[in-house]
Structure 1
Amino acid sequence: MQNEKDLFDMLKEMYPQHPRKEFVSATENTLRHRARSMRKKRILTKFSVISSSVLVCAFIFSWLIFFNGNSKVSEVIHSFGGASSSYGMDEKEPVVYIYHSHNIESFIPELPTQEVYSEQVYRERAYSDTKNVTLVGKELSRALEEIQVPSIHDETDIAGILKQKGLHFPDSYKVSRENLQKVLAENDSIRMVFDIHRDSNKRRDSTIEIKGKEYARIQFIVSKTSKNYEANKKFATQLHEQLEELYPGLSRGVVEKGIDPPNTYNQDLHDNSLLLNIGGIENTLEETYRTTDVFAQVLKDILEKSK
C-alpha cells in the first residue's frame, strides 16, 4: 500500500515540466485528505472485526456459565469472584489447614438451656450441631485471611458422618483423616495443620483476663505415638513461647498425649500438625474469638520468620 510520500513522488515524476506551486500544493492537500480517509476506513474495518470477535466470545462465555453450571468455566469464575471460599486470598496458595475431628463440641453459655445438671450430664450437654467449635475455626480462618495468610477451613460434619455410617466417637479421627490426606495431597503449600477442639475444663482453668477483657486460653496437644512427635513438639513449643511473649498466661502450655489409648491425632501426616484446645465448656464464643485473633498474628509472625 502506497503512502502519501510515494504518491507525491510519483506525481512529480509524471509532471517533469515543473507545474505551478498552487497546483502542486492543492494536489498534495487532496492526496493527503484521501490518504487519511483510507486510513480511517482501515481502522474502522479492524474495529468492526475485533468487536464482532468480542461479541461472539461473550456469547459463548455466557452460554457456558448459564447453561453448563458444572463446567470448568464455572469453577474458574467461583475461584476468582471473591466468593466465601477460605482456600486462599489474592490468588495465593493456602498455607494453613484448619479442621475439627470433634466438630459438635460446644460451650455451655452458648446453649439455650438454663437447667441444672449433675457434673457428668453438665459436661455431656456441651454439644451442638450449630453453635460449636467449628465457628472458632471459622473465625481463625477469617482472621488469617484478613492479614493475608491464606487458609483452608474444613467444616465437614464429622459427627454426622459417624452417625450415618454407624461408627463410634473414637472413629472421629479416622473420618477427619480422610479429608486431611486429600487436602495435603492436593495442596503441597500447606505448612501448618490444626485440629481445633474445646476442653472440658471449667472457667477458672480455661479463661484469663488481659487488659480488662476475658480470653479463652489455648492448649497445644502433641501425640507421643506419632512419627512426627519431635517436629510437632518443637512446633508447639515455638507457638507457646511466642504467645507467652505477647500475652503471658494465654497459653496453657504443651501437653503430650496419645499413648493410652494410642492415637496419633493424624499428626503423623504432617510435621507441623497439632491438636488445639481453645477454651473450655464454660467459655463463650466471643472469648474464643479474641484468642483466635491473637493466635492468627502469631502464626503470621512465625511464617514470615521461616521464609
Structure 2
Amino acid sequence: MNGKMKLKKIVKKKIKLSFIYIIVIYIIFSITFYYSLKNSNNINNKEFINFLLKGGNSHLIGDYKLINIVNNSTKFLFSIDFTNPSSILDRSITSSSKDYEHNDDYSNLEELKKISSYIEDPNPVDIDSPIIYIYNSHQLENYNSSNLDIYGITPNVLMASYLLKEKLNSKGLSTIVEDSNLSEFLSINNWNHASSYKASRIFILDKKNKYNTLKYFIDIHRDSVNKNVTSVNINGKDYARILFVIGLEHDNYKDNLKLSEDLNNLFNKYYKGLSRGIYKKEGPGVDGIYNQDISPNSILIEVGGVDNNIDEVLNTTEAISNILYYYIKGDNNG
C-alpha cells in the first residue's frame, strides 16, 4: 500500500515538473520568437505610410498572426504581454492596479522621443499653389502602437498629417504638410515642450509668406482621453473621433469658430457621431490662441486619442478629406 502511495506521489511530481518544463520552454520560445521578428522585420514609417495609402493594412495584419497567437496565449496564461516588456517586471513586482492616466505634460523632449519619433514626408512633392497647410504643433503625439512597435513603426499625428495630405491632394485640393522637425527645432533653441506653439508659429508665418495662395491652416493633434470616448463605428467601419478646439483669447476668434461650426455640421450630416463637437478654450493654464489669430481659417483638430490605432486614424483622414472637399468645393450632395 505504501509503495503504491509513493509511486503515485512520484508520478504526480514528474507530471508537475514536466508541466513546469513545458511552460519554461514555451516562454523562452515566445521571447526568442518576438526578438527574432523585431530584428528581422523592421520597416520604416515612410514605407508604412505608403503601404496604408495603398490599402495594405489588412495584408500587414496577416504578418501579425503568429506573434499575436503567441502573445495572446501568454497574456491569457500569465498576464504577460511580450510586446510590452515592462509587464513582465510589473508581474514580478506587483499587480495592484491596471489603470493609469496618460499624461502629455512631459518634463522634456527626451521623454517624448522615447515613445514617438519624427517622420520624413514619404512623398515629397513641390506644390506651387497650395490652399491647405497642415502642421502639428505637437509632432510627437503618438497613437496606439500595439503590434507595430515590433516592426519599428511609431504612428503619430505627423503620420496622420501625411495621410490626410495624400487624401486631399487626390481630391484636387492642393495641400502641403509642415515636414520640418519641430522637436529638433525646440532643442536647438533650448525651448521646452511648452514652447511648441511659439515654434509652430514661426513655421506657419514662413509658409504663409512663401505661399500667398494658402487659405486654410489646420493643426492636427490627438487627445489623451480613453478609447471609449475617442472611437466610433459608423456603418461597420471604425473611426478615431475628432474634436475641434478653438481659442477664444484673440479678437477674431469668431471667424475660426464659424469655420469649425460649418465643418462640424457637415460631419454631423455625413458621419454622424464622428465629431465630438467644439471645445472653446480660454483662461489660466491654457494657450487660448493656438496660433488661430494668424488666419480666420485656422483650426485645431484633435484626431482620435492615445488608444486609437492607425487604421482608425486612416479612416478618419478619409472622412476629413471628404468633408473639407464638400466645404471648399460646395456641398452638392443634398
TM-score for both structures, normalised by structure 1: 0.64
User: Aligned to 2:143, which of 90, 107, 111?
Assistant: 107
1:288 corresponds to 2:324 = no
Number of aligned positions between the proteins: 208
Cα distance in 1 between the residues matched to 2:125 and 2:317: 16
Q: CA deviation digits over 1:60-102, x for unaligned, max 9?
A: xxxxxxxxxxxxxxxxxxxxxxx933553xx6x1110000010
1:191 corresponds to 2:215 = yes
Secondary structure of the residue aligned to 1:101 is: coil
Secondary structure of the residue aligned to 2:243 is: strand
**Are the counterparts in 1 of residues 144 and 310 from structure 2 also a CA contact under 8 Å?**
no
Partner of 1:61: none
**Are the counterparts in 2 of residues 224 and 257 from structure 1 also a CA contact under 8 Å?**
yes
CA RMSD of aligned residues (A): 2.2
Unaligned 5+ runs, structure 1: 1-82, 115-127
Partner of 2:181: 157
Q: Identity across aligned pairs (percent)?
A: 28
1:265, CA displacement in angstroms? Answer: 0.6
1:130, CA displacement in angstroms? Answer: 4.5
User: Aligned to 2:130, which of 87, 94, 101?
Assistant: 94
Q: 1:190 to 1:160 in 2, by over 3 A?
A: same
1:164, CA displacement in angstroms? Answer: 2.7
Q: 1:87 to 1:248 in 2, by over 3 A?
A: farther
Cα distance in 1 between the residues matched to 2:274 and 2:184: 32
Unaligned 5+ runs, structure 2: 1-121
1:213 corresponds to 2:237 = yes
TM superposition outliers: structure 1 runs of 4+ over 4 Å = 110-114
Q: CA deviation digits over 1:19-66, x for unaligned, max 9?
A: xxxxxxxxxxxxxxxxxxxxxxxxxxxxxxxxxxxxxxxxxxxxxxxx
Cα distance in 1 between the residues matched to 2:306 and 2:227: 8
**Are the counterparts in 2 of residues 173 and 265 from structure 1 also a CA contact under 8 Å?**
yes
**Are the counterparts in 1 of residues 216 and 297 from structure 2 also a CA contact under 8 Å?**
yes
Partner of 2:123: 84
TM-score for both structures, normalised by structure 2: 0.59
User: Aligned to 1:276, which of 301, 306, 321?
Assistant: 301
Partner of 1:171: 195
Partner of 1:70: none
**Are the counterparts in 1 of residues 135 and 218 from structure 2 also a CA contact under 8 Å?**
yes
1:224 corresponds to 2:263 = no
Q: 1:266 to 1:242 in 2, by over 3 A?
A: same
Q: CA deviation digits over 1:259-307, x for unaligned, max 9?
A: 323431110101110111000010011101101111101111111139x
Q: 1:184 to 1:110 in 2, by over 3 A?
A: farther
Cα distance in 2 between the residues matched to 1:86 and 1:99: 16
1:108, CA displacement in angstroms? Answer: 2.7
Partner of 2:269: 245
